[in-house]
Amino acid sequence: MHIVVCVKQVPDSAQIRVHPVTNTIMRQGVPTIINPYDLFALEEALRLRDRFGGEVTVLTMGPPMAEDSLRKALTFGADRAVLLTDRFFAGSDTLATSFALTQALKKIGEVFGEPSIVFTGKQTIDGDTAQVGPGIAKRMKLNQLTYVAKISEFDGDAGTITVERRAEGGIQVLSTRLPVLITMLEGTNEMRRGSMEDALRAAKAEIVTWNAADAGIEDLTKCGLRGSPTIVKKIFSPEPRSEKAHVIDTRDKSMEEISQDFMAALFERLPGIEGDLMDYASTHYGQEG
């Protein structure tokens, strides 16, 4: 079994700053990390490999410095790392990114074996779009399982997988055939501590590095800025809220008294909501409601 995990090197959001004049992200001096959501995908891939055998390949697209994140992934136990890097990829939005990664995944299939599962995190902390994973699945014609909270069953011989997917109102249990793309939710597992053996292997491992031509990308108009229809109008830091939370003292009070205090505080904070609630009650439950 061959599993590929797509990861992204992102700026540490805790130290991101926005330029006060240009309203652009200031990346200078900001440390980079593996996108935290991708670590849940990587750990799940490693667990499947440990149980059922096979190999885990980690793939990223980015500048040469993204090699640092790939080596970090190798310290956790990944078997192989592939870096897709080329100046033609600069400025890629999610559409161009999914195109380039799809081409790289096809090349990985030719060189190292077709992947049975492609893992991604649910989204990245610098973009928050959650579009790249589904975009890859669409381009590769893979079944996709998004927002997966747990892998319940896996049958490599039958080529099937069953997962629990978080959805509005509850949990969906879905089963599909391989190959499949899975986006993992946060909090679904805990990233392991890499072994000393893996750390030493990662330090001297050869990172497979491909440019656009190596990955078999012929149409460069679909890459980078030329292949990115998204336009960022403005980037800004939200202003911190100055208002404080309203505290309701519930000591020695019944549930009815607490409810009355809550409603009184709500109507005081949002005066218009009382009339809206009365109109709703009158419309749906009659005048006596």
Indicate whether 272 and 154 sit together in one domain.
Answer: no
Q: What is the pLDDT of residue 208?
A: 97
Q: What is the pLDDT of residue 64?
A: 93
Indicate whether 205 and 281 sit together in one domain.
Answer: no
Q: What is the pLDDT of residue 289?
A: 44
What phi and psi values does residue 166 have, to the nearest 5 degrees? -75, 130
Indicate whether 281 and 156 sit together in one domain.
Answer: no
Could you tell me the sign of the dihedral formed by the alpha carbons of 191, 197, 202, 203, in that order?
Answer: positive
Place of tokens 């904070």: 269
Indicate whether 92 and 164 sit together in one domain.
Answer: yes
Residue 232 maps to a domain: no
Q: Which amino acid, 261?
A: D
Indicate whether 216 and 85 sit together in one domain.
Answer: yes
153 forms beta bridges with 162
- Note down the domain range covering 279: 241-289
Indicate whether 87 and 168 sit together in one domain.
Answer: yes
DSSP single-letter state for residue 287: T
CA distances from 56 to 23, 76, 96, 114, 117 (A): 39, 11, 25, 12, 10
Both tokens of 71, joined, read: 């080596």
Residue 99 maps to a domain: yes
CA distances from 257 to 264, 269, 289 (A): 11, 18, 21
Indicate whether 267 and 190 sit together in one domain.
Answer: no
Indicate whether 156 and 246 sit together in one domain.
Answer: no
Low-confidence ranges of the chain (pLDDT < 50): 289
Q: Which amino acid, 136?
A: I
Q: What is the pLDDT of residue 11?
A: 81
Number of domains in the chain: 2
Indicate whether 270 and 200 sit together in one domain.
Answer: no
Indicate whether 112 and 253 sit together in one domain.
Answer: no
3-class SS string, 194-242: CCHHHHHHHHHCCCEEECCCCCCCCCHHHCHHHHCCCCCCCCCCCCCCC
E-state strands within the chain? 2-6, 9-11, 17-18, 25-26, 32-34, 55-61, 80-84, 117-121, 143-155, 160-167, 170-177, 180-184, 208-210
183 forms beta bridges with 120
Indicate whether 201 and 134 sit together in one domain.
Answer: yes
Percent helix / strand / coil, the chain, rounded to 5: 40, 25, 40
* This prediction's pTM: 0.78
3-class secondary structure, 262: helix
pLDDT digits (tens, 9 = 90+) for 91-104: 899 999 999 999 99
Nearest residue to 157 via CA among 135, 177, 181, 172:
177
